Amino acid sequence: MIGTGHTATTTASNGLAAVQTISAPLHDARALSQRLVTHFTEVVTPIGNLPGEVLRGEVTNVTRTCVELATGVLEGHDVEDKVERLHRAGAEWAREGIPIGAIHRAVRDGVELAFGLVLEAAGPDDYARLMLTAQRFLEILALINAAFAVAYVREHRAAAAEHHTAVQTVTSALLAGRSAATMARSGGVEIADSYSVLALGIPAPQPRPGLDLTVAARRTLRRVQAALAAHTAGRGLSLLGTEGGTVLVPTPEPLPVADLVSRLSAATGVALTATVVHTATGGIPEAAERAHELLDMVHRLQCAPGLYRFDDLAVEYQLTRPGPGREHLGALLDPLDEHPDLMETLRTYVGSDHSRQRTARVLGVHTNTVDYRLKRIAQLTGFDPSRPSGLWHLRSSLVARTYRNSAAGSAAADGLPSRGINLSGKEFQRI
């Protein structure tokens, strides 16, 4: 096998002498490389389509390097410098867009032709030498293919990193309201006239024995990014972290936004939550701010995962705006602070589409107990949950209270229903 320095070794000195003799048909590297290039232009289309000066120059030189590498491996010489030459050539071809499959096809054909020359020169007593030579040719094939593959991977990683940086820069500029036209042109990023601006929430991985939560979160993020690129034809822009972020989908969308969120959830295996606001490109900063305000509200109300539009939450959004109105509404339920069982009953009653039977099942109590607690709520607050006007005030107060003392995390303490609350008295539904 070939060692770290890419030097062929043999098990005995007489074996080395044998392969040095049998490699003689490859010694005229110049003539052989010209013959190989002629073959490539006839059967390997991407290479045959290259300009004549490229074939006579670069392709011929690289082919000669391969021939010299093959001879060196057969004769046990160090071929590290030739491998490095192939790395440089491979990187250049990757930048020029020559498919790596075409390179591998040419390498295979070249190795096959070279081995054929060795076979033609061998005599009837050369069986033992040919066994050793065949092993060396397999090593030659692997070594040349690996050299080109490494070069292509490095080049594509560098190109991907450069494009990723350009996308991040353009996205940041759009979100900040700065001109991004120059950066977009230089980075090959297309800017649309209008966008669907999504605020995306990615839930934290569920702990389980042996699971590294940081690694799991990063894996989910990578899946979101890959699925986003696939389902937006590479035109979606995003600034995302492990907890979520902002996605800009050009309109008209390659895929309806609701379907996009569903497919992102399917690709990651987790239920994602998103809010969307549509805007012209110049309005992206304001749209992103509103989308994230909506997402924050969806999280506070503990709504079901899925996509939410502003129209679905317009009334709730207005109730959460700072001001005396919100404070007044939130204070309506202050009399229940000393009665956690009544607060829980009210939340469950609202979250159960004000069904007494369903509320009783969720709480694990008798329906008569629910009736008694609802009457107590009416007595303490002055608003009767069984009457439409009273229920509207109580629901509005529940929404407003999610934003009272937000720094202290009151939304979590209030323990709102898992499906969320809206002012229609029905559970929030996913789009």
Query: What HEC string does 83-131 produce?
Result: HHHHHHHHHHHHHHCCCHHHHHHHHHHHHHHHHHHHHHHCCCCCHHHHH
Distance CA 392, CA 250 (A): 39
Question: Any idea what DSSP says for residue 366?
Answer: -
Whether residue 277 lies inside any domain: the answer is yes
Whether residue 88 lies inside any domain: the answer is yes
> Do both 58 and 73 map to the same domain?
yes
Which pLDDT band, with edges at 50, 70 and 90, does 37 fall under?
confident
Residue 261: give the domain boundaries. 192-319
Q: What is the pTM of this model?
A: 0.62
Please compute the mean of the pLDDT values over residues 318-339 and round it to a whole number: 85
> Do both 257 and 273 map to the same domain?
yes
> Do both 340 and 397 map to the same domain?
yes
- Percent of the chain whose predicted confidence (pLDDT) is above 70: 86
Distance CA 342, CA 357 (A): 16
Q: Kindly report, residue by residue over 175-229, the tens digit of the pLDDT.
A: 999 988 888 887 788 899 999 999 999 999 988 898 888 999 999 999 999 999 9
Q: Kindly report, residue by residue over 143-168, the tens digit of the pLDDT.
A: 999 999 999 999 988 888 888 888 88
The length of the chain is 431
Residue given tokens 């030459």 in the structure block: 85
Whether residue 172 lies inside any domain: the answer is no
> Do both 145 and 232 map to the same domain?
no
> Do both 306 and 342 map to the same domain?
no
> Do both 347 and 376 map to the same domain?
yes
The CATH number that applies at residue 382 is 1.10.10.2840
Residue 1 is predicted with a pLDDT of 38
Burial classification of residue 291, based on how many CB atoms lie within 10 Å of its CB (0-12 exposed, 13-18 middle, 19 or more buried): buried
> Do both 280 and 236 map to the same domain?
yes
> Do both 295 and 366 map to the same domain?
no
The CATH number that applies at residue 209 is 3.30.70.270
Average of per-residue pLDDT values in the chain: 83
Residue given tokens 């491998």 in the structure block: 83
Whether residue 138 lies inside any domain: the answer is yes
C-beta of residue 74 within 8 angstroms of C-beta of residue 23: yes
> Do both 57 and 125 map to the same domain?
yes
The CATH number that applies at residue 122 is 1.10.490
Residue 420 is predicted with a pLDDT of 44
Non-local CB neighbours of 294 within 8 Å, separated by 6+ positions: 199, 275, 277, 308, 310, 313, 317
C-beta of residue 202 within 8 angstroms of C-beta of residue 297: no
Query: Which of 153, 147, 37, 52 is closest to 94 using CA atoms?
Result: 153
Distance CA 75, CA 70 (A): 9
C-beta of residue 371 within 8 angstroms of C-beta of residue 323: no
Non-local CB neighbours of 81 within 8 Å, separated by 6+ positions: none
Q: Which two tokens stand for residue 191?
A: 């800017």
Whether residue 7 lies inside any domain: the answer is no
Distance CA 284, CA 246 (A): 11
Please name every residue paired with 275 in a beta bridge, in sequence order, or none if there are none: 199, 308
Of 268, 289, 319, at which residue does a domain stop? 319
> Do both 149 and 216 map to the same domain?
no
CA neighbours closer than 13 Å in the CB half-sphere of residue 27: 9
Is the pLDDT score of 408 beyond 50? no
Distance CA 130, CA 13 (A): 16
Whether residue 424 lies inside any domain: the answer is no
Query: Which of 79, 55, 58, 63 is closest to 26 using CA atoms?
Result: 63
Whether residue 170 lies inside any domain: the answer is no
Q: Kindly report, residue by residue over 275-317, the tens digit of the pLDDT.
A: 999 999 999 999 999 999 999 888 877 677 899 998 888 877 8
Is the pLDDT score of 6 beyond 70? no
Whether residue 248 lies inside any domain: the answer is yes
Q: Is 179 left (phi over 0), alpha (psi -120 to 50) or beta?
A: beta
Of 288, 319, 350, at which residue does a domain stop? 319
Identify the weakest region by mean pLDDT among 49-53, 58-62, 247-251: 49-53
Residue 416 is predicted with a pLDDT of 38
CA dihedral 80, 85, 87, 91 (to 10 degrees): 170
N- to C-terminal Cα distance for the chain? 60
Which pLDDT band, with edges at 50, 70 and 90, does 367 fall under?
very high
Which pLDDT band, with edges at 50, 70 and 90, does 363 fall under?
very high
Which pLDDT band, with edges at 50, 70 and 90, does 364 fall under?
very high
Which pLDDT band, with edges at 50, 70 and 90, does 428 fall under?
very low
Residue 11 is predicted with a pLDDT of 43
Is the pLDDT score of 44 beyond 70? yes
Non-local CB neighbours of 367 within 8 Å, separated by 6+ positions: 356, 357, 360
Stretch (H or E) spanning 194: strand 194-201
Query: Which of 271, 108, 280, 106 is closest to 201 using CA atoms?
Result: 271
Is the pLDDT score of 360 beyond 90? yes
Q: Which stretches within 210-311 are classed as H helix? A: 213-231, 257-268, 284-300
Q: Which two tokens stand for residue 320?
A: 């959460």
C-beta of residue 75 within 8 angstroms of C-beta of residue 9: no
| Amino acid in the structure at residue 19 | V
Is the pLDDT score of 387 beyond 80? yes
Domain count, the chain: 3
Please compute the mean of the pLDDT values over residues 23-30 and round it to a whole number: 85
Residue 407 is predicted with a pLDDT of 34
> Do both 315 and 351 map to the same domain?
no
C-beta of residue 369 within 8 angstroms of C-beta of residue 295: no
> Do both 211 and 285 map to the same domain?
yes
Of 114, 144, 159, at which residue does a domain stop? 159
Is the pLDDT score of 394 beyond 60? yes
Residue 242 is predicted with a pLDDT of 93
